[in-house]
Amino acid sequence: MIEAVGAAASLSALAFSLRFHWWRPARRGVPILMYHQVGPHRTGSALNKWRVPGHAFRRQVEWLARKGYRGISLRGLLEGERPGPEKPVVITFDDGFDGVRTVGLPILREHGFLATVFVVAGRLGGIDDWNDERPGERLVDADGIRELAAGGLEIGSHGMNHRNLIGLDEESLALETAGSRRVLEEVAGAPVRSFCYPFGGFDDRAAEAVRGAGYRAATVIRSGLGDPAGDLYRLRRIPVRGTDPFLDFALALTRGRSKF
């Protein structure tokens, strides 16, 4: 009986360790967190994994600060910014949801954290019409972008129309990369040098188009630590899901990966 209980206990411990990958060694690189919306869940919505409620976001930022991390932008990472004695963690938000401005920004500022917001240049003040759910979530408008930039956040591009870059004709590829950069630089009044592939879609041609359009880095949707000494047009990130328990966040961050 006692043996059976012991076996059950060690089995569940094994399942726990497999789930969280804590048996994997820590690897080289800097964690780059991938967020989307900061805001409340919707009943029964499949998109809730990309919505981190404000209270959960606050808990994560407070945990990071307590653990000696300091949130920086992707630009900060590439420029070798070292936030004093603190460990850098790059914070990124895809899609440019307005909740990042209204809910996320005040929490970041309380802790002196910076971040990068990847905005869809052709949807300023619109909704996330590339998702099926209606009503859509509100996206930042031009004033919102200026507010984020004034708060020290980096504005990056997430394309002009949130199109997957793979297989686009030359003209569309130029519009999504160089075109979106021009629009956002005009609005933000600051250089736009970071790109995030919509739907995580990239290949060699897309990466070359992004580089050729004047960006110096691009992020993908693949789990892992970002290596500033590696390929800057394929920077991996750690997805932060609004439906995961807090423990997943802490373990994924320290191990540079998360479960899929």
Q: How far is the CB of 221 from Zn ion (least distance, A)?
A: 9
Candidates 6-14, 91-99, 138-146, 220-228: pick the segment binding Zn ion (CB under 5 A).
91-99
CB of 69 or CB of 202, closer to Zn ion: 202
Candidates 71-79, 86-94, 213-221, 222-230: pick the segment binding Zn ion (CB under 5 A).
86-94
* Residues that contact Zn ion, how many (by CB under 5 A): 2
Q: How far is the CB of 128 from Zn ion (least distance, A)?
A: 8
CB of 94 or CB of 98, closer to Zn ion: 94
DSSP state of 121: G
Q: How far is the CB of 94 from Zn ion (least distance, A)?
A: 4
Q: How far is the CB of 3 from Zn ion (least distance, A)?
A: 51
CB of 70 or CB of 219, closer to Zn ion: 219
Applying CB under 5 A, does 137 fall inside the site for Zn ion?
A: no
CB of 94 or CB of 176, closer to Zn ion: 94
The three state secondary structure string of the chain is CHHHHHHHHHHHHHHHHHHHCCCCCCCCCECEEEECEECCCCCCCHHHHHEECHHHHHHHHHHHHHCCEEEECHHHHHCCCCCCCCEEEEEEEEECEHHHHHHHHHHHHHCCCCCEEEECHHHCCCECCCCCCCCCCEECCHHHHHHHHHCCCEEEECCCCCCCCCCCCHHHHHHHHHHHHHHHHHHHCCCCCEEECHHHCCCHHHHHHHHHCCCCEEEEEEECCECCCCCCCCEEEEECCCCCCHHHHHHHHHHCCCCC
Q: Report the residue from 50, 51, 60, 94 that binds Zn ion according to the rule CB under 5 A.
A: 94
Q: How far is the CB of 217 from Zn ion (least distance, A)?
A: 17
Applying CB under 5 A, does 95 fall inside the site for Zn ion?
A: yes
Candidates 55-63, 92-100, 134-142, 185-193: pick the segment binding Zn ion (CB under 5 A).
92-100
Site for Zn ion, rule CB under 5 A: 94-95
